[in-house]
A and B are shown apart, each in its own frame.
Chain A
Amino acid sequence: MRDNASSSNSGNRRDFLRGSGVAAATAVFTQTAQVGMDEAAAEALAAQGVAVQSGSMKITLQVNGQSMVSEVEPRSTLLDVLRHRLDVTGPKRVCDRSSCGACTILLNGQSIYSCTTLAVAAQGKEIRTLESFDTGPKSVAHAFHQNDGLMCGYCTPGFVTACQALLEKNPNPTLEEVKKGLDGNICRCGTYVGVVQAALDAAKAIKV
């Protein structure tokens, strides 16, 4: 019944979804897969204060200090919402399996893979992407430039973000700590020597 919003007994369900902050657009229910439980179970859960969300929903994300509103589904990844809905294209989609690091962002100050995070779960948290980072002479980005820390450049946003996260936690990393701190990112061009030196140089420059 959920794929047919004109069905006479879909009212409770839709009212409940509205109540839990979901945009209950008719088109949404015709487009999304049928999932989950029956109406009675949904109402029983709602009565116990458990909000179940499905279909299309409006969320607000705090991205680089700005509130951004987007229409998403529960299954939308944070990376796809940032890139395709909000036009925040610094984080890159490469492996989409939490293996390569190109999608790295900072969530509440912690480096994470945005490809493996649900957008809906990022509500209420501080999202920082490299668009917000300093690019001046004392920045991580500048150190990458000075050290030839890139070749094709596709991994670079992820590396710069991981490097920023490392230096915010540990302003004086040793070579070993830099290697361990950046081991969640892959560069298929093999620019690791430049990347590691950039991290060490950026640490020095930021302190001056």
Chain B
Amino acid sequence: MKAFEYVGATSVDQAVKALTPGSSAMAGGTDLMNRMKDYVTSPDRVVYLNDVKELAGISGDPTSGVTILAGTRLADILASESIKKSYSALWQTTSDVGTPQIRNMASVGGNLMQHPRCWYYRSGFGLLPKSADGKHMLREGDNRYASIFMTDGDALYAHPSSLAIPLIALGAKATLIGPEGERTIDVADLYKIPVSNTDTLFTAKPGEILKSISLPASTGKNGSFEARHKQAHDWPLVMASASLTFTGDTVSDARVAVYGVAPLPWRSKAAEEAIKGKPVTVETARAAAAAAAEGAKPLTMNAYKVAMLKTVITRTLCVTVGNRYWEA
């Protein structure tokens, strides 16, 4: 790890002032510390946010909307009864992130703003890793955990944030604060595809930090399901969240987001259109999942994700209406 200057911010104002070019904001540190140790990211200055009291906490009510400040630890989300009851997609996903220690350290904002876990990136070859002869390392190399959508481009890693998936399905907004004040955008609009190895993954402007996440009022049902290698301390291979509103038994509106299949949190409009106007049964969920998989272009080692995507979306839609058919 290279030496850096340290600012232990105690207010948002201090943090924003201290985040000059070349600085990195750090909350739990579970991503940035490892990137610094591996010389993937070597900031001149680290601005520590975890002691900023005005950045932590959960407020509001599911009937009108809930605000989660960006510094809130994942363990605090799990302790929230209202999130467990009304935003179970978010609660379930949070419960599956990392380990107890990581959930005690990591913040919501840090989870959303983490960098991809692609091993070429983490080994110092950049987000769009090319070998000396111009070959794309991930396309030609070991791409078992990479994307299956948007694979015509050069960004082939899978987007790393688990929490982005339920938040996008739930229609959450993100508020950023920086030198020019606050602005609020859809959570999905936090992210972009980098065009070069020196480009950023995020739409945040220099000096901006994530301040809060706002969940809209809970009006329907929501749920998440993830597939992973092992139960303990693992990343999802494919994970999905759905938020459904109903007229009677029929889905009137749907939002479905998927992890692990694209370099952005993947919103499956195809699955949403397919389930709208229908009740959620195993059959209609399977049809929506089949629609979601259309257009997937897996790489050389990850075609399994297409089949997994279908199973995960089917189960996510069924979980959302309380049907855990595969356990029967």
Query: Cβ of A74: which chain B residues have Cβ within 8 Å of it?
Result: 3-6, 46
Smallest CB separation, B22 vs chain A (Å): 8
Given A51-B8, A99-B233, A36-B44 contact (CB < 8 Å): yes
B101 near A104 with CB under 8 A, answer yes
Smallest CB separation, A186 vs chain B (Å): 8
B48 near A118 with CB under 8 A, answer yes
Nearest B residue to A115 via CB reads B33
B104 within 8 A of A: yes
B105 within 8 A of A: yes
Question: In the complex, which of the residues B1, B9, B36 has the most CB atoms of chain A within 10 Å of its own CB atom?
Answer: B1
A139 within 8 A of B: no
Query: Cβ of B8: which chain A residues have Cβ within 8 Å of it?
Result: 51, 53, 120-121
Q: How many residues of A contact B (CB 8 A)?
A: 45
A110 within 8 A of B: yes
B20 within 8 A of A: yes
Query: Cβ of B100: which chain A residues have Cβ within 8 Å of it?
Result: 111, 162, 165-166, 180-184
A118 near B29 with CB under 8 A, answer yes
Contact with B along A84-95 (1 / 0, CB 8 A): 000000000000
Instruction: For the complex, give the distance between the alpha carbons of A166 and B2 in Å.
Output: 35
A41 near B20 with CB under 8 A, answer yes
Bin the interface of chain B by size. Answer: 35 or more
Across the A-B interface, how many residue pairs have beta carbons closer than 8 Å? 127
Instruction: For the complex, give the distance between the alpha carbons of A19 and B7 in Å.
Output: 14
A111 near B104 with CB under 8 A, answer yes
A113 within 8 A of B: yes
Nearest A residue to B73 via CB reads A110
Question: In the complex, which of the residues B33, B34, B51 has the most CB atoms of chain A within 10 Å of its own CB atom?
Answer: B33
Query: Cβ of B57: which chain A residues have Cβ within 8 Å of it?
Result: none
The one of B1, B6, B232 in contact with A120, judged by C-beta atoms closer than 8 angstroms, is B6
Q: Which of B210-255 contact A (CB under 8 A)?
A: 231-233
Known: A32-B3, A37-B44. 8 other contacts (CB 8 A): A35-B3, A36-B5, A36-B22, A49-B14, A53-B7, A111-B101, A118-B29, A186-B233
Binding site for B on A (CB under 8 A): 32-33, 35-37, 41, 45, 48-54, 73-75, 77, 96-99, 101, 104, 107, 110-113, 116-118, 120-121, 162, 165-166, 179-186
9 smallest A-B Cβ distances: which pairs? A184-B99, A74-B6, A183-B232, A33-B3, A110-B104, A36-B5, A54-B5, A184-B101, A116-B33
21 A-B pairs (CB sep. < 8 Å): A35-B2, A35-B3, A35-B44, A35-B45, A36-B44, A37-B20, A49-B14, A54-B5, A74-B4, A74-B46, A75-B1, A101-B99, A101-B101, A104-B101, A116-B30, A116-B33, A117-B105, A118-B29, A162-B101, A179-B231, A184-B102
Binding site for A on B (CB under 8 A): 1-9, 14, 17-18, 20, 22, 29-30, 33-34, 36-37, 44-46, 48, 50-51, 75, 98-102, 104-105, 231-233
